[in-house]
A and B are shown apart, each in its own frame.
Chain A
Amino acid sequence: MSVPATYPADPVPSPEATGSAIRTSRLLKRYGAIEAVRGLDLDIVRGEIFGLIGPDGAGKTSTFQILAGVMEATSGTVEVFGKPAREARSQTGYLTQTFSLYPDLSVAENIRYIGDLRRVAPAEIAERGLRYLKMFDMDRFADRLAGRLSGGMKQKLALVCALVPEPKVLLLDEPTTGVDPVSRREFWDALAHLAADGLTIMVATPYLDEAERCHRVALMHLGEIHQTGTPAELRAGLHAKRLELRTTELAKAEQLLTQDAGDGREILDVQRFGDRLDLLTVDPENTTKYVEEKLKSPQLQISEIQTREPTLENTFVATLRSLGQEIRPEPFPGRYDHTDLRGQIAIGATQLTKRFGAFEAVKHVNIQIRYGEVYGLLGANGAGKTTTIKMLCGLLAPTTGEIQLAGETGSLRSQSVRQHIGYMSQKFSLYDDLSIEENLNFFAGVYGVPESERERKRNWALSFSGLEGKEKQLTGSLPGGWKQRVALGAAIMHEPSILFLDEPTSGVDPLARRAFWNIINRLADLGTAILVTTHYLEEAEQCNRLGFMVAGELVTEGTPSEIKNRQEGHLIEFVVDQPQGAADLLKQTLERWRVSLFGDRLHVVTDESAQAGIQSTTTQLAKHGIQVLGAREERFSLEDVFIGVVEKARQQGKVASED
């Protein structure tokens, strides 16, 4: 189906042509004995979106604080538009990782305060504030308290505040953590727009799908930068292709193919997703044959095998591996096997409804999750995900509807039920003021893991977290991503047959995330039912089945492929000579969500056939003097599907868009 397109070299402006916006040299930051930033050399070009990609604890926040001029470097130099960072503060806008505005001030009051602090004239504060609020479609909320906004809106407000003094550089430290996909896309659309207007943007993110939307990307790990380049360059630098393999028995296929995967082999890497395996290889044609051969003997049915470009994630996994960062935990020392339960319903809900006063948070939801299944529950902020999970695991009583949990329908809070449940909640599931070891001991004790097994389980959890030998360390001193690993380890020590994971991988680096999903798949193979929520749809591909929640309703359910195939219309990727101009133009005639900018590429969703869509768009753009350099149909990503679903629901008036 895909129309082959040859991309021109990415039109990244060169430093010589436009000059550097930010230049650092041998930047070093030491906290006591720890070196958070180790000799950073950056050269960020004016007008580009520069992505700093790295897990928690990589040194991103320290870097940002130094660039923003709010912290002194131990050594090294920073220049922002030719001035030391501290003197360039009036030209810098800085969004901190956590929401750093005042929740008890209204939107307008926050803008006014920041504007006043930065000596913007009152009339200009009002004018610019309104302009940017309009740009982000937030002008209706000027009087709302900032604390009452959703995560995405808060970040947009923070962006507005940062923009009111009209800075030349924006420093964004993980601006989209905890923000749902719809808001994230809007946020990135706004960034693309600002960059096109000449603003230099440096943005940190732990997520690689966002990295695709940057002009250039750098991978940061343990205080050092390991790779820099455009996304395309980085992908090309891997010198490999990706094979998507769909087969009936993923677990078995994975096992077979992993055996002889590795550097220098036929297959470089195997990764399992919800309904496919991804194989990395240098020579796709030969490997295809090899795989077909290999799977013939156990008679595994190959339903599809396709060659694709590698993802950025593939690149970074390869880089991290070459740095020796891979964690190879011992196999989980599970004693119990829940495979006998396989196929039975673990979590079931019929007509589940929850009302808070007049507000219906969850409306008639029906869910059935079987033992051995990984089910992903997705939804925007406020869609009712958290409420649903709380009801399913018995923390919250439903208004109406029935729930079945581990075979129990009556008292979900009984001890015997909870004994079978593992639960890892959003951010805090460990005690910060206990050591890692004490935390593990506590969870082992409270769940009654037998004395004889505790040692082994604890060691496993430590090796899984990569924290062997650090068990005396205080949990609170760990970066978020590491804490998450310990938390997962703690949550499964008692071998639950049902596992609730509420955004388990936020802040976790790609390699560790793979380890996470490895163990999740392993547990599912043992018959455990797993319910996962995430904001990152790339990750959702790893689930067996997905459910999309919109405004309290479960609107779509199915395997990732099913859901993607169900999506109507076509996604077309254009390469044009004026990406931002094209996007702005198309947004005038098409709904906003149908057009988005990915770096230098333009994604357009059309309901016509692919060819017709390409033609009509090309002619429309040509009329305004914009030349289309290449176009091809792309597969919908889950994110595209998700946004489409939410937007359609919004059009049908189901979603009262944030009020």
Chain B
Amino acid sequence: MKRLFNHRFLALIQKEFAQIRRDRRIAMSLILPPVLQLMLFGFVLNSKVQNLRLGVIDESRTPESRELIARLSESESFRLTSYYLSPDALTDAITHGKAQAGLIVPYDYARNLQRGRQANVQFLLNAMDANTATIARTYAQSVIASYSANLQSSGLHAEFSQIAVPDVGRRGRVDLQPSFLYNPGLVASWFSVTGVLGLLCILNGSLVASATMVKEREAGTLEQLLMSPADTSEIVLAKIVPLFLLLCMMALFAIGIMRVVFHVPFHGSFMLVFAGAALCLLSGIGIGTFIATFTQSAEQAQLTSFFVNPPMSSLSGALTPMEAMPHWMQPLAKFNPIYHFGVICRASMLKGSGIETLWPNFLALLVFTVILVSLSVWRFRKQLG
């Protein structure tokens, strides 16, 4: 190791730093992606079901029907946009996206209620977006159920209670009391930005690394370098060290944004997250270097990375829950460093988990990093020699 820190290594490192300093594209790709991706993903990726546009046909036009409509549109989930006169008009509105949900209150609604008969309403949902539809359905059901319950208990519609079969239930009601841990406000961005951090480290790391690694070959300066007394491991190391340091700064910057802009809590150890990020960066550098050894130019390297990055990010559980993948795909994620970092990052930041629970993920991350880095360095050195 001592042998490494000699004048040659110093000259190589200085050269790399000088090149990086001049390369505006590197500087851009260390600042722009963290800002842009975190901001966009954090602010835009919001799956929360709220303010769904509700279109209503109120054929009943009674205080009872208006109360039902008010109940639905007062809730967080639905927002009354307009009334329609015919089912065709409502259908049209849903098809064109002017409304996402529709409520049809039949003309005999109030009369049925008053006579103590069950009143049916139709609730239409545009289910193209399965997630929104699933959640919206639950909301609608519970709003209507609680409205029903109110009707039963309050004296307002006494007629109904009188006519209705008296309570013959054998048991008391089970009252489910959900409470949300770690993220009581269900802030969507906490999930997305913690996932994006891993994507950033790996994908951006590999992009920057492949560009740097292939640069020398593309410019034709590699031969000159190989003729110098510098050792191949010195050359490789001198390229990796500055990159790694810069990328670490990027990771810190990204973590800063998470904290300041998105107020992600830091329940666990910062060092743990940072160490995970560092391993991710090294993995990313490994992947980038590996790609670089197969390509002749930065253009090719970048094109090739299209074959690696999208599959890696989609099989990572970073942006969408792991369980949403088809079952046969889920085990694949276990071989993905982004997945393990996502687990570490979320568990540590949001839940305050420590190494004692996260060690398997850490170990996996470490193993991948070691494999990727040594494989790529081996290939790179082989090409040099």
Q: Which residues of A contact B (CB under 8 A)?
A: 393, 395, 413, 415-416, 418-419, 421, 423-435, 438, 441-448, 474, 500
Say whether B228 contacts A446, CB under 8 Å: yes
CB distance from B220 to the nearest CB of A (A): 3
Q: B7 to A448, Cβ gap below 8 A?
A: yes
| CB of B223 within 8 Å of the partner chain | yes
Looking at the complex, which of B11-19, B74-82, B143-151 is the stretch in contact with chain A? B11-19
CA distance A434 to B23 in the complex (A): 10
Provide 22 A-B residue pairs closer than 8 Å at the C-beta atoms, listed in order of the A residue.
Answer: A395-B223, A395-B227, A418-B228, A421-B227, A425-B224, A427-B220, A428-B220, A428-B224, A429-B223, A431-B219, A431-B221, A433-B19, A441-B11, A442-B12, A442-B18, A446-B11, A446-B225, A446-B228, A448-B7, A448-B8, A474-B22, A500-B227
Closest to A490 in B: B224
Instruction: Point out the residue from A418, A427, A434 that lies within 8 Å of B15, measured CB to CB.
Output: A434
For B19, the chain A residues whose CB sits under 8 A away are: 431, 433-434
Contact assessment for A432 and B219 in the assembled complex, using a CB-CB cutoff below 8 Å: yes
Interface string of B187-204 (1 = CB under 8 A from A): 000000000000000000
B14 & A442 in contact (Cβ 8 Å cutoff): yes
Assembly CA distance A441 to B7 (angstroms)? 11
Residue pair B219, A442 in contact (C-beta under 8 Å) = no
Q: Which residues of B have CB within 8 Å of A438?
A: 14-15, 18
User: Cα distance A359–B85 when bound, in Å?
Assistant: 84
How many angstroms between the C-alpha atoms of A438 and B219 in the bound complex? 17
Residues from chain A with a CB closer than 8 A to the CB of B355 are none
Q: How far is the CA of A339 from the CA of B229 in the complex (A)?
A: 23
**B385, A434: Cβ atoms under 8 Å?**
no
Would A448 and B219 count as touching, CB distance under 8 A? no
Establish whether residues B229 and A433, one from each chain, have CB atoms under 8 Å apart when the complex forms.
no
Interface residue? B64 (CB, 8 A): no
B224 contact from A413, A416, A423, A433, Cβ within 8 A? A423
CB contacts (< 8 Å) of B8 on chain A: these are: 445-446, 448
User: Is the beta-carbon distance between A393 and B227 smaller than 8 angstroms?
Assistant: yes
Does B226 belong to the interface (CB within 8 Å)? yes
CA of A445 to CA of B220 in the docked complex: distance in angstroms?
A: 20
B231 within 8 A of A: yes
A-facing residues in B127-163 (Cβ within 8 Å): none
| A419-B225 Cα distance, complex, nearest whole Å | 12
Cβ contacts under 8 Å, B223 to chain A: 395, 423, 425, 429
Say yes or no for B371: interface residue by CB 8 A criterion: no
Q: Mark B17-31, 1 if CB is under 8 A from A, else 0.
A: 011001100000000
B7 / chain A contacts, CB cutoff of 8 Å: 445-446, 448
With a cutoff of 8 Å between Cβ atoms, the chain B residues found around residue A447 in the complex are 228-229
The answer to whether A434 and B220 have CB atoms under 8 Å apart is no
B186 close to A (CB within 8 Å):
no
Other-chain contact of A415, B18, B226, B229 (Cβ < 8 Å)? B229
State whether B230 touches A413 (Cβ < 8 A): no
Which residues on A sit within 8 Å (CB–CB) of B70?
A: none
- Chain B residues with Cβ below 8 Å from A395 are 223, 226-227
Q: Are A429 and B14 in contact (CB under 8 A)?
A: no
The 9 closest A-B pairs by CB, nearest first: A445-B11, A428-B220, A423-B227, A429-B224, A415-B229, A418-B229, A446-B11, A442-B15, A446-B228
Interchain CA distance A438-B10 in the complex, whole Å: 13
How many Å from the CB of B216 to the closest CB on chain A?
9
Q: Which residues of B224-273 are within 8 A (CB) of A?
A: 224-231
Listed residue (A395, A431, A447) with the most chain B CB atoms within 10 angstroms of its CB: A431
Task: Beyond the given A438-B18, A441-B11, A443-B228, please list 16 additional residue pairs across the A-B interface where CB-CB is below 8 A.
Answer: A415-B231, A418-B227, A418-B228, A425-B227, A430-B221, A431-B15, A431-B19, A431-B221, A432-B219, A434-B15, A445-B7, A445-B11, A446-B7, A446-B15, A446-B228, A447-B229
Q: Are A425 and B220 in contact (CB under 8 A)?
A: yes
> Which of A419, A433, A443 gathers most chain B CB within 10 Å?
A433
What separation, in Å, do the CA atoms of A447 and B231 have in the docked complex? 12
Known: A434-B18, A442-B14, A445-B8. A429 touches B229 (CB 8 A): no
Closest chain A CB from B57 CB (angstroms): 63
- CB neighbours (8 Å) of B385 from chain A are 413
Q: Which residue of B lies closest to A449 (CB)?
A: B7
| A433 and B10 within 8 A (CB) | no
A656 CA / B206 CA spacing, docked (Å) = 45
List chain A residues, Cβ under 8 A from B229.
415-416, 418-419, 446-448
**Contacts of B18 on A, CB cut-off 8 Å?**
434-435, 438, 442
Alpha-carbon distance between A446 and B219 when the two chains are bound, in angstroms? 19
Per the bound structure, the CA–CA distance linking A446 and B234 in Å amounts to 11
CB distance from A416 to the nearest CB of B (A): 8
CB distance from B246 to the nearest CB of A (A): 16
In whole Å, how far is A120's beta carbon from the nearest beta carbon of chain B? 33
A474: B residues at CB distance < 8 A: 22
A445 to B7, CA, bound (A): 6
The docked-state distance in angstroms from the alpha carbon of A421 to that of B224 is 11
How does the 8 Å CB contact mask read for B107-126 relative to A, with 1 for contact and 0 for none?
00000000000000000000
B11 near A429 with CB under 8 A, answer no
A-chain residues with CB within 8 Å of residue B221 when the two chains form the complex: 428-431
Nearest chain-A residue to B226 (Cβ)? A395
Q: Chain A CB within 10 Å — which of B8, B225, B227 has the most?
A: B227
A134 to B22 CA separation, bound complex (whole angstroms): 50
B14, A441: Cβ atoms closer than 8 Å: yes
Within 8 A of A (CB), among B1-52: 7-8, 10-12, 14-15, 18-19, 22-23
Expressed in whole angstroms, the Cα–Cα distance for A356 and B283 within the complex equals 35
Q: Which residue of B lies closest to A502 (CB)?
A: B223
Provide the residues of chain B in CB contact with A428, threshold 8 Å: 219-221, 224
* Residues of chain A with a CB closer than 8 A to B225's CB: 446
Please, which residues of chain B bring their CB within 8 A of the CB of A442? 11-12, 14-15, 18
Docked CA distance A444–B23 (Å): 23
Shortest C-beta distance, B168 to chain A (Å), equals: 83
Q: Please, how many angstroms separate the alpha-carbon atoms of A423 and B231 in the complex?
A: 16
Cβ-defined contact, B22 with A434, below 8 A: yes
User: Measured between alpha carbons, how far is A1 from B85 in the docked complex, in Å?
Assistant: 115
Q: How far is the CB of A484 from chain B (nearest CB, A)?
A: 13
In the complex, chain B residues whose CB is within 8 Å of the CB of A446 = 7-8, 11-12, 15, 225, 228-230
A500 and B230 alpha carbons, distance in the complex (Å): 18
Chain A's nearest CB lies how many Å from the CB of B217? 11
Interface residue ranges of B280-312 to A (CB < 8 Å): none
Contacts of A425 in B (CB 8 A): 220, 223-224, 227
**How far, in whole Å, are A416 and B7 apart by their CA atoms in the complex?**
15
- Please measure, in the bound complex, the distance between the C-alpha atom of A385 and the C-alpha atom of B228, giving whole angstroms: 21
Tell me the smallest distance from the CB of B167 to a CB of chain A, in Å. 82
Nearest CB on A from B187, distance (A): 43
| Chain A residues in 8 Å Cβ range of B219 | 428, 431-432
Determine the chain A residues whose CB is within 8 A of the CB of B230 once the complex forms: 446
Which chain B residues lie closer than 8 Å to A423 at the CB level?
Answer: 223-224, 227
Bound Cα distance from A421 to B228, whole angstroms = 8
A113 smallest CB distance to B (angstroms): 22
Q: Is the CB of B22 within 8 A of A433?
A: yes
List the B side residues contacting A433 at CB < 8 Å.
19, 22-23
Which residues on A sit within 8 Å (CB–CB) of B23?
433
* Whole-angstrom CA separation of A427 from B224 in the bound complex: 11
Partner of A445, one of B14, B226, B231: B14
Query: How distant is B190 from chain A, measured CB to nearest CB, in Å?
Result: 41
The complex places the Cα of A425 from the Cα of B219 at a distance, in Å, of: 12
